[in-house]
Structure 1
Amino acid sequence: MARPSFRKPALFNPFESRQAERSEVFQAVRQFLIMGLAALVVVTTPVAFWIWSEAEHHALENSQLATENLAQNVVAPLLDEAVLSGDPAGIARLDERLRPWVGERSVFEIRLWDSDGRMVYSDDEKLIGQKFDLPHDALEVLAGKPVKATLEVQTDEVQAEGVNSGELVEVYVPVTAPNGERLAFEAYYDDDAVRQEQAAVLLDMVPPFLLALGVLQLAQLLPAVRLARRIQAYEAGRTRLLHRAIEASELERQRIARDLHDEVIQDLSGLSYVLESEELHRPVGQRRLFSEARRILQDNVRNLRAMTSELYPPDLNRLGLSGALARLGDPLEERGISLTLDLPPTCDLDRDRAALFYRVAREALANTAKHSKATKAELRLRQVGKHSEIRISDDGCGFDQSLGSPEGHFGLRIMRDTIGEAGGSVQVLSVPGKGTTVIARFGAGTEADHTDDVQRSAAPGVPQPVR
């Protein structure tokens, strides 16, 4: 009588576990740094725009103050009757005082308006003495209302040469002549000074701001690393416990199978020989009874041998998962069920996951043989990258999933929990009269990602899988 081959389960490799732990912690830290960098960009971008805007506002206020000083301290004392009446001597005296401001101090244009729209003074001599419609800001200034400096592409009301030369700072301030007459003083400045001040403020404020955020990021990094290590240690411990549980299950199955083979099966086989001998020596009338008892005993021995094979799977390390799965078709053929196999030549799965896949397939095909009344079954194994899947389907009687899994599928419910603890998933889909499909997965993707694929593979009308 052939003795089944028992082997020691694969040992847990702590070196590989530590490598995986370091790799996952590194990935977690890298993800934290990437998210922190993204948050840094998200935070600093609006802050930079705010600093840029505030610097522009500050520069425009400085231009406003400089124009007010020019109007009150330089222009106002020279606004005598000669200047107000347009006397060339008075205009020349005012022009002499203001010329150094034009060009040398980035002032593009200077104008002085009276309330009638007459150009009292301009650095463009052709405009002096002419009347125009007063600009809106000039009217506001003459009415005593405050007008803020603006930085924009200016549209000059009098179309003076040199003013429409791009983006300029425009300032209107009031100025009062010695005789009490109120005038509007208008000046245009180059935008370079504003931009330079903006850049200076930005360069002064952004580095310490970025430094503070960087220090905050580093301060959060150390607790994040510790947390990642704690979580990884928990996951590693959970993985080790699962691995030991699988090993313990394998050892227990091995012990039960060995005890059955070495003790119960051997004793029952010997008893079968004894009954056969007694049958030959008994009177003819008693031989039928001994023959029936021997037949029942031999059937039980065959069932126990089948249970021994089911309790302990073949050597997956020697045969490989595909080779071991190929052997599952023999019990089905004895019941008249043809099994179609779609297996890759090699499957890169670790020993634990291969064993779990094998158990799912064995349990599903055992249910097919015992309960489905099927004539055909299919077993398909696929592996793409880190994603692996085994799918077992039949054309049997099926069952109503709304009533829960039938009693014969209790083993699959246990496998679903076990594979779930190992990071995989098991789905059972069935419709009365249209067969049953069992799918187990490991690796990238979730059950939801494959729902459409499952529904396409199952018979029409198959409901959503019962978790």
Structure 2
Amino acid sequence: MSTAARTIAPLPAAPARRPVSMAGLLARFAGAGLLVSVILAVLLAVLSRQAGTDQAEQAARQVTWLTAKGIVEPRLTPEVLAGDPAALEEFNAAMNAYVVQGSLVRVKLWDATGRVVYSNESRLIGETFPLGEEERQALTTGGTNSEISDLAKPENRYEAGFGALLEVYTGIAGPDGRPLLFEAYFLYDSVAEAGQAQWQTFAPAALGALLLLELVQIPFAWSLARRVQRQQQDAERLLRQAIDASDDERRRIAADLHDGVVQDLAGLTFALDAARLGTPDPARDRALLAEAATQLRRTTGEMRSLLVEIYPPDLATEGLGAALVELAGALERDGLRVDLDVDEADGLPLPASSVLFRAAQEILRNVVAHSRAREVSVAVRRAAGSATLVVDDDGRGFDEAELPERQRAGHVGLRSLGDLVRDSGGRLVVRSAPGQGTRVDVQVPA
């Protein structure tokens, strides 16, 4: 009985993914590395300059303290504190000779009332200005402190021509023991230059190290980009194989249903309808029912075998051995003798069991479709770290040299199986010769 065959539409193609560009990956990596290097360089510059500036300010405080204790304090006399012109002129000469030089451009000496006892700017001598909290603290405790001068203050009006100044003050004692405040003004440009010098000292080594790190990372980035590209290519190849295999499987199942179960059931239906509509005949009807029961049992077996192929047993719970027994049962119902040796099949890891079961499905399908075999043996062997499926039939075999040509002609089952086994880390070996049957060995890691 013939019925119209249904065409199974192929699965929709997976959306094309943009291939990984190695140059793009490398450029992004190098750009990110360069950006990080620039950020680190800027951060290093800021920190180095700040460290240099801090060191310069610390040096200015030390110079001020040494000057105050070693030069100013020993030369203070009651006449200087009283404002005697001759004493002040002699004191001023000592300050100009030993203190006011280089970046130190202004000195002032204050008493506790805020009166300027001495300054190398003589117009300030005798004037009184309010002292700040930090200045009073240094005066009473003898400590040293520094700050950027506020040139807008009246006491600093004669320093405006110097530009930015670092103001350092420390407490000293007069000849009568009363507290005084010594103040030194340094050109801030010298402090900034010290910070710049600090940066310039470390900049070549730091930038060189960052550049070397970037250059060293580029080969690793190139290797990583190639690995990503290969992985993407492998994933796309596996996806194409999965889509092709699924499409082929759907077509094969449709053909099996159409040529087998559907034809048998259609013929049985017509026979039963004819008996129902015809003249009753008990003997004929009993024979027809017996034939219908036999046909239904055979069809049920075929459907069971088909279901095993569509949805294989749960290998994780039932094991590979039970799944192979199901496959063998389907072959025996088709009249093929199957010799099973699967005692070592159970207990395998699920990935290995899955690959071996799919391999057994494909190999036994080829046996039924092409080999014209009468007998086939299926065995599972285990060795240290591996498991091997061996399928050996007594069919007509084929010339192994013709295998590539058969694959080009559309027989891609073994090629797809080889890809599956290779991707699992195993190997597939096919041995055959015309008239001598075919043996297939599938070995996978276990």
Structure 1 length normalisation: TM-score? Answer: 0.47
Which protein is bigger by CA-based radius of gyration? 2
Which structure ranks higher in relative contact order (CA pairs < 8 Å, sequence separation ≥ 6)?
2
Structure 2 length normalisation: TM-score? Answer: 0.49
